[in-house]
Structure 1
Amino acid sequence: MSSPLAVGTWCFLFFGLVVSAHATDAVPASPDVAAVVQPYLDQHKIAGIIGIVADKTGKVHFKNLMGYADVEAQKPIDENNVFWVASMSKMFAGASVMMLVDEGKLSLDDPVTKYIPQLSKWMVVEEKDASHVLLKPLVRPVTIRHLLSHTSGLTGSAEVQQVTGADTTPLKVRSLSSVTGPLQSQPGEKYAYGNQGMNIAARVVELVSEMPYEEFLQKRFFDPLGMSETTFWPSAAQVARLAGAYGPNKSKTEFARGNIGFLTKPYSDRTNRHPEAGGGLFSTTHDIFRYGLMLANDGELDGKRYLSAAAMDELRKEQTGSTKVNYSLGYHLRNGMFGHDGALGTDLSVDPKTGMVTVFMVQCTSGDQWAARDAFLKAATKAFSNK
């Protein structure tokens, strides 16, 4: 069936205003955001988006709900929808480490081998071709900072993940499996984005805090922040509210539904699925916004401090050394903002100078999610400055 998005978006904008209104004050949609996002919907590149533009006090200045969470069932996208936030999960790995740094329990420049001695066997690929691989010793230790900034030299995923799947082995198993997988570059010398460093950092969090990583996140972040729907294991009820992932069909005339091939179904299986610290979380607009407010308020929210000012300084600055890539410790740095995005286009961005907090929730498989995200952020910044 052909999608009626082109003709129906404005009515869903209105729907968004109705369902998202406060008791006494409806939040308007931003015409700037609507204008830049509409073409992606019209061209079947994105089925639906939620765009939030707010300030650090928690006041939402603009809220755009456009399109569908389920094209086949004609269900408009809604703030009750659950999203796979993928690499946005990395923010929590970085914040967890910094919380333990605040408590004096570890240092960013600690060698990883201080906590996982087995990793002292790491070697580095010096030469490689079809007939041979030459390995050399490390010239410097891999540190926690290297893990979180993608400068460790690790491959994107552990060897065991490449065989069994991203989430079917515990963090301990994934960390130790990297012993036999050589580093691809000397620590600190190259930037290579991936999940393996985040998973090893999460394993360090487990060892230092003496609790499972998922329990640490629940007790230290999710529960106190009121992030009641953020989890590695969405329930059946949450999966029923999962926004569909869409892109155009081959003829680009209709939507084609995709899936989350990165994770193992059923998502609610706590026995056979384990936390993927680099990309395994599911969440909602509300929960991501709550986390963004904590970041925007320099590590504090509603009278509770989560991260010190010094920890927040670390999360907001470039940590990639001589590579000069705009990345921190599980946080992207982009146009003066910091936060992170996810594989299907979800994004949290915080501007520490203006206090703007933006949330962009989408499940896009077309490859256009980054262009759409950038267009949204540009329009959001304009709308926020003109509010």
Structure 2
Amino acid sequence: MSDAIDGRPHEVGVDPGRLERIDGWMRDLVAQGKLAGLSVSVARRGRTVFRRAHGFADLARKTPFTTDTVTRIYSMTKPLTSVAVMQLYEEGRFQLDDPVSRFLPEFSEMRVATGGNRAKLETEPARRPITIRDLLTHTGGLTYGFMESTLVDALYRQQGADFLRPDASLAEVVATVAKLPLLSQPGEAWNYSVSTDVLGHLVAVVSGRDFADYLREAVIAPLGMVDTDFFVRPENLGRFAANYVYDRSRTLTLYDDAVETTFAKPPAIAGGGGGLVSTASDYMRFCRFILNRGELDGVRLLGRKTVELMTMNHLPGDLAAIGTPRFAESSYHGIGFGLGFSVMLDPAKAQIVGTPGEVAWGGMASTAFWIDPAEDLAVVLLTQLVPSSALPIRKELRVLTYAALVD
């Protein structure tokens, strides 16, 4: 699959006129002030049939948003971390049903919240250990402090279970997480969580290498993701986008500057759950790697069967059947979860056009990707607007993209 735009989308079953609707939609989002800027890339059957950018990466400096703009991808880091975990799995370092406490003993004696109040939280012992598979599928009972919907979430905030902290190491924050009660019994509920950050520490412990170094050397560099890292290298700062948020008047307000940003230097913690910056071209290379079932441009990082395992649903049903809707970079109905990705189960239940078996995820700044093996399709959306629930742009792009498939 070439990164160059192919001028004959009809040859791969894509209607050029319908594809152009995406361009108009992008222009309207910028013209209406809903987004500062964005890019969209679409690839099918080995050809990149659409790659456009509109608007500004930085409104104050009038820097154009281009197809090589560097953006914060936040939780789109998670699939790359999951690949790193599965590389070690393929080496025979562990089994997916191994307790994570085999490598991280701080998780040996976990307790589960059952009730109480802020003054006294009631807990009971975990009925079984948290497994590596639990962490990959967000079914280990961990949570995020920013959820702000349970007493356990509040404890995460109070105790500093935050992987963006500048004053701690990855190991120290993981140790803090392990001291806190679980939100649910391991394996019994789906809760979006810091699980993938814990997996980053697992990668470091099992491999004996710094997690950031491992991910760069074993995943990012072999895939040719030349602009992807845990910080923006000095030579790339001119291409880095500002991040925006809607204020109360629904006006774009600066959330994080493109120059005066913490991303301008390596972080104290390389967060496996949300620490990377990347570009459209780089992330499309990752999508191609998954579409090719573990190989890209002659370089194989995972076996075919391993990728098949990662991209199938590992839940007993959809997210709604095993999770209490709080927050996710996905809807709950009709969507399952694999080892690092959401998995489309039933487009009718999800109430969105799609294909059973497609995998996807997104990031806090409204970035998103999806990979559809049945259609041999990959789509990458990059923009910088928090939170990701501010606009329904992911659903809108799905409709526009699938409407262009005509074979």
After TM superposition, is the score higher than 0.5?
A: yes
What is the alpha-carbon distance in structure 1 between the residues aligned to residue 29 and residue 340 of structure 2? 28
**Does structure 2 retain, via aligned residues, the 8 Å contact 1:161–1:167?**
no
**Does structure 2 retain, via aligned residues, the 8 Å contact 1:166–1:276?**
no
Q: Shift in Å at residue 366 of structure 1? A: 6.3
What is the alpha-carbon distance in structure 1 between the residues aligned to residue 99 and residue 163 of structure 2? 28
What is the alpha-carbon distance in structure 1 between the residues aligned to residue 130 and residue 176 of structure 2? 16
**Does structure 2 retain, via aligned residues, the 8 Å contact 1:56–1:297?**
no
**Does structure 1 retain, via aligned residues, the 8 Å contact 2:163–2:271?**
no
1:35 to 1:318, Cα distance in 2 relative to 1, 3 A:
same
**2:262 is matched with which residue?**
266
Query: What pairs up with 1:151-230 in 2 under 5 angstroms?
Result: 151-156=139-144, 161-162=160-161, 165-166=164-165, 168-194=167-193, 196-230=194-228
TM-superposition CA deviations, 1:291-331 (whole Å, max 9, x none): 11001111111122111122112221122346455222221
1:217 to 1:165, Cα distance in 2 relative to 1, 3 A:
closer
**1:380 is matched with which residue?**
401
Report the 3-state secondary structure (helix = DSSP H, G, I; strand = E; otherwise coil) of the residue aligned with 1:333.
strand
TM-superposition CA deviations, 1:259-314 (whole Å, max 9, x none): 289xx9532433x6220111110011111011110011111111221111221122
The equivalent position to 2:48 in structure 1, one of 48, 52, 60, is: 60
- The runs of 5 or more residues in structure 2 that have no matched partner are 10-15, 146-155, 323-334, 345-353
Letter in 2 for 1:231: D
TM-superposition CA deviations, 1:179-202 (whole Å, max 9, x none): 3211111001111112x2111111
What is the alpha-carbon distance in structure 1 between the residues aligned to residue 255 and residue 112 of structure 2? 37
1:258 to 1:197, Cα distance in 2 relative to 1, 3 A:
same
**2:330 is matched with which residue?**
none
**1:280 is matched with which residue?**
275
What is the alpha-carbon distance in structure 2 between the residues aligned to residue 358 and residue 106 of structure 1? 33
What is the alpha-carbon distance in structure 1 between the residues aligned to residue 162 and residue 274 of structure 2? 17
Letter in 2 for 1:356: L
TM-score calculated relative to the size of structure 1:
0.84
Letter in 1 for 2:256: N
Q: Shift in Å at residue 243 of structure 1? A: 1.4
1:296 to 1:267, Cα distance in 2 relative to 1, 3 A:
same
**Does structure 1 retain, via aligned residues, the 8 Å contact 2:51–2:67?**
no
**Does structure 2 retain, via aligned residues, the 8 Å contact 1:44–1:248?**
no
The equivalent position to 1:326 in structure 2, one of 332, 336, 340, is: 336
**2:292 is matched with which residue?**
297
**Does structure 2 retain, via aligned residues, the 8 Å contact 1:151–1:187?**
yes
**2:40 is matched with which residue?**
51
Report the 3-state secondary structure (helix = DSSP H, G, I; strand = E; otherwise coil) of the residue aligned with 2:222.
helix
The equivalent position to 1:310 in structure 2, one of 288, 305, 309, is: 305
**Does structure 1 retain, via aligned residues, the 8 Å contact 2:43–2:378?**
yes
Report the 3-state secondary structure (helix = DSSP H, G, I; strand = E; otherwise coil) of the residue aligned with 1:178.
helix
What is the alpha-carbon distance in structure 2 between the residues aligned to residue 228 and residue 381 of structure 1? 29
What is the alpha-carbon distance in structure 1 between the residues aligned to residue 247 and residue 119 of structure 2? 42
1:95 to 1:47, Cα distance in 2 relative to 1, 3 A:
same
Q: Shift in Å at residue 258 of structure 1? A: 2.2
Report the 3-state secondary structure (helix = DSSP H, G, I; strand = E; otherwise coil) of the residue aligned with 2:337.
coil
Letter in 2 for 1:277: G
What is the alpha-carbon distance in structure 1 between the residues aligned to residue 399 and residue 270 of structure 2? 33
Moved more, 96-105 or 287-296: 96-105
**Does structure 1 retain, via aligned residues, the 8 Å contact 2:364–2:387?**
no
1:267 to 1:131, Cα distance in 2 relative to 1, 3 A:
closer
Q: Which has the higher contact order (CA 8 A, sep 6+)?
A: 1
**1:353 is matched with which residue?**
374
Identity of aligned residues (%): 26
Q: Shift in Å at residue 257 of structure 1? A: 2.4
What is the alpha-carbon distance in structure 2 between the residues aligned to residue 367 and residue 164 of structure 1? 19
What is the alpha-carbon distance in structure 2 between the residues aligned to residue 276 and residue 161 of structure 1? 14
TM-superposition CA deviations, 1:200-251 (whole Å, max 9, x none): 1111111111111111111111111111111112123323321122355554
Report the 3-state secondary structure (helix = DSSP H, G, I; strand = E; otherwise coil) of the residue aligned with 1:224.
coil
Letter in 2 for 1:267: F
Report the 3-state secondary structure (helix = DSSP H, G, I; strand = E; otherwise coil) of the residue aligned with 2:361.
strand
Letter in 2 for 1:284: T
1:260 to 1:243, Cα distance in 2 relative to 1, 3 A:
closer
TM-superposition CA deviations, 1:147-176 (whole Å, max 9, x none): 121111112155654478445422211221
Q: Shift in Å at residue 109 of structure 1? A: 0.8
Cα RMSD, aligned residues only? 2.7
**1:144 is matched with which residue?**
132
Aligned residues: 360
TM-score calculated relative to the size of structure 2:
0.80
**Does structure 2 retain, via aligned residues, the 8 Å contact 1:85–1:281?**
yes
- The runs of 5 or more residues in structure 1 that have no matched partner are 1-19
